[in-house]
Amino acid sequence: MAQRQAYATETDNGGSAPEHPATRLRRLTDLTHRLARREAGGPRGGWRGDPRIWRRGIVLAVLALLLAAVMLVHSHIPNRIGNLGSLTETFLPWLGLAIPVLLVLGLVRRSATALLAVLLPAVVWLNLFGGLLSDKSGTGGDLMVATHNVNADNPDPAATARDVASSGAALLALEELPNSAVPVYEKALAPTYRYHAVEGTVGLWSKYPMSGVRAVDIKLGWTRAMRATVATPEGPVAVYVAHLPSVRVKMEAGFTARQRDKSADALGEAIADETLRRVVLLGDLNGTMNDRSLNAVTSQMRSTQGAAGSGFGFSWPASFPMARIDQIMVKGVEPESSWTLPRTDSDHLPIAARVKLDTSS
């Protein structure tokens, strides 16, 4: 009764009546809703209750679907025009960068349609490359191998040789060896490797005896591939070293790789005819594992990076690696780990792997 009288007295005296707590709460809630609607830019406010979220962003949704389609059917993109299919496959992982861009644009546009569409390329990319994001490397292996395109114009071949030899690899393959620099590499690597052989512009250095060394004809007219039998403590291993022709970009033809592709087919035939069960391929293939033009090789061998690596292991160009065109591949051998080595004066990064030759256990 006293509170009611006080309220009446304040009103009669022209004062403002105290606001009931429930009324104040309701007023603050209404104010919050109005501010939210103002920030959303529409009378209905927010994502809920805004029918335009399904009509906006149609162009973004179409782009997302096209991106997913390219990744899904990349093997069907024709090579007849500028070898476009191989070009797409060489840089296929980088298409994933478009996914967060489309996601951000979808959020900015407040488009539920675009955001749902972006899920499709995200799922496709993860299906293709998600496995490379995890660390599959192990600590085992009874043979370490390495390969490096040393660059014919390397300003300090002796330092490059010492750098790759310090990796501890038992087998070291070098590509793009100019005749004038071969003695330099031989001298620098002699303290580490007792055995070596050079055929044309490729060479193999080994801590174990080698036999059956011969050039491999990859249809170039000059020697850029070789084969040797290495007598490891676990038994003989056929080791191939190859440097496939470079892919060229020509103004009149675009991305061309016809010579590279013919050489890849010849290399694949040589490996298929190999009589030894255990085979290791080291070299610069000028193509990625996704490139269908290397199917003659990749269909019968495993990539150590894909099976036992961590990340994409890009090896070229050394200044900003964008593709893994240098490969260590195996057949009848179990990959244990794979990684890139520190940069040298070459335009490629050296790569290394540990493999298990004794697969009986």
Asked whether residue 167 is assigned to any structural domain, the reply reads yes
Question: In the prediction, which pLDDT does 261 show?
Answer: 86
Domain of residue 299, CATH code: 3.60.10.10
Q: Are residues 182 and 248 in the same domain?
A: yes
Question: In the prediction, which pLDDT does 170 show?
Answer: 98
Asked whether residue 9 is assigned to any structural domain, the reply reads no
What's the pTM? 0.81
Q: Are residues 124 and 240 in the same domain?
A: no
Average pLDDT of 255-276?
Answer: 88
Sign of the dihedral through C-alpha 212, 216, 217, 221: negative
pLDDT in tens, 52-99: 888 899 999 999 999 999 999 998 998 877 778 888 998 999 999 999
- Largest Cα separation within the chain, whole Å, is 115
Task: Report yes or no: 143 and 234 within 8 Å, Cβ to Cβ.
Answer: yes
Asked whether residue 12 is assigned to any structural domain, the reply reads no
pLDDT in tens, 339-356: 999 999 999 999 999 999
Q: Are residues 114 and 169 in the same domain?
A: no
CA 136 to chain centre: 14
Q: What is the dihedral of CA 289, 290, 292, 294, to 10 degrees?
A: -10
Q: Are residues 322 and 347 in the same domain?
A: yes
Sign of the dihedral through C-alpha 277, 278, 283, 289: positive
Q: Which two tokens stand for residue 87?
A: 């070009």
The CA–CA distances, whole Å, from 63 to 6, 56, 120, 290 equal: 69, 14, 11, 23
What DSSP character marks residue 97?
A: G
Question: In the prediction, which pLDDT does 361 show?
Answer: 55
Q: Are residues 82 and 202 in the same domain?
A: no
Q: Are residues 197 and 260 in the same domain?
A: yes
Asked whether residue 70 is assigned to any structural domain, the reply reads yes
Whether the pLDDT of residue 15 is over 80: the answer is: no
Instruction: Among 133, 155, 179, identify where a domain stops.
Output: 133
> What is the share, in percent, of the chain residues with pLDDT greater than 90?
70
Q: Are residues 100 and 180 in the same domain?
A: no
Q: Are residues 70 and 210 in the same domain?
A: no
Q: Which two tokens stand for residue 332?
A: 């009848």
Q: Are residues 188 and 296 in the same domain?
A: yes
Any idea which of 171-175, 218-222, 280-284 has the lowest mean pLDDT?
Answer: 218-222
Question: In the prediction, which pLDDT does 255 show?
Answer: 45
Distance (Å, rounded) from C-alpha 291 to C-alpha 336? 24
Q: Are residues 349 and 200 in the same domain?
A: yes
Instruction: Among 133, 168, 184, identify where a domain stops.
Output: 133
Asked whether residue 1 is assigned to any structural domain, the reply reads no
Average pLDDT of 15-26?
Answer: 56
Asked whether residue 361 is assigned to any structural domain, the reply reads no
What DSSP character marks residue 191?
A: T
Q: Are residues 173 and 70 in the same domain?
A: no
Do the strands 254-256 and 302-303 form a parallel or antiparallel pair, or are they unpaired? Answer: unpaired
Question: In the prediction, which pLDDT does 307 show?
Answer: 92
Asked whether residue 4 is assigned to any structural domain, the reply reads no
Any idea which of 13-22, 23-32, 109-118, 174-183 has the lowest mean pLDDT?
Answer: 13-22
Q: Where are the beta strands (DSSP E) in 191-300?
A: 195-199, 202-206, 210-215, 225-232, 235-243, 248-250, 254-256, 279-284
Write out the residue range of the structural domain in which residue 27 sits: 18-49
pLDDT grade for 23, boundaries at 50, 70 and 90:
low
pLDDT grade for 22, boundaries at 50, 70 and 90:
low
pLDDT in tens, 152-163: 999 999 999 999
Q: Are residues 192 and 272 in the same domain?
A: yes
Whether the pLDDT of residue 24 is over 60: the answer is: no
Total number of domains in the chain: 3
Whether the pLDDT of residue 296 is over 50: the answer is: yes
Whether the pLDDT of residue 29 is over 70: the answer is: no
Question: Mean pLDDT of all residues in the chain?
Answer: 87
Distance (Å, rounded) from C-alpha 111 to C-alpha 113? 5
Distance (Å, rounded) from C-alpha 334 to C-alpha 141? 8
Question: In the prediction, which pLDDT does 260 show?
Answer: 85
Asked whether residue 163 is assigned to any structural domain, the reply reads yes
Query: Using DSSP, how many helices (H) and how many strands (E) does the chain show?
Result: 11, 14
